[in-house]
Structure 1
Amino acid sequence: MDRNRCPRCGWPLAELPAAASQPVTRRLDYVRCVCGSWLARWDGEVVGATRSAP
């Protein structure tokens, strides 16, 4: 899995509005991908998603 992209659709995390505006330093956060999947990020890397890849 590429930890800088959505595991469901492959969209780059850096291009998500919520992901680009938040500083990432030793924290867990959640962002919504354009495909509708919620992504869990730890230190800016995707560690989980609500929907699996097709």
Structure 2
Amino acid sequence: MTSAWVLIALGTYFLLSKRGWMPNLGPLISEWWPAILIIIGISMIVRRSSDE
């Protein structure tokens, strides 16, 4: 369910960005994407260990 909300949020952001209604975060994301993946992975591990 969470992944669906993430996809909806990303789609909305890209649509609004394409229309010029949101700032372009492309350069920021292209620089920080490894850290974003690490944070997502850590949160998944923490969530899984708290469920057990």
Q: Whose RCO is larger (CA < 8 A, sep 6+)? A: 1
TM, length-normalised to structure 2: 0.26
**Per residue, is there more strand in 1 or in 2?**
1
TM, length-normalised to structure 1: 0.25
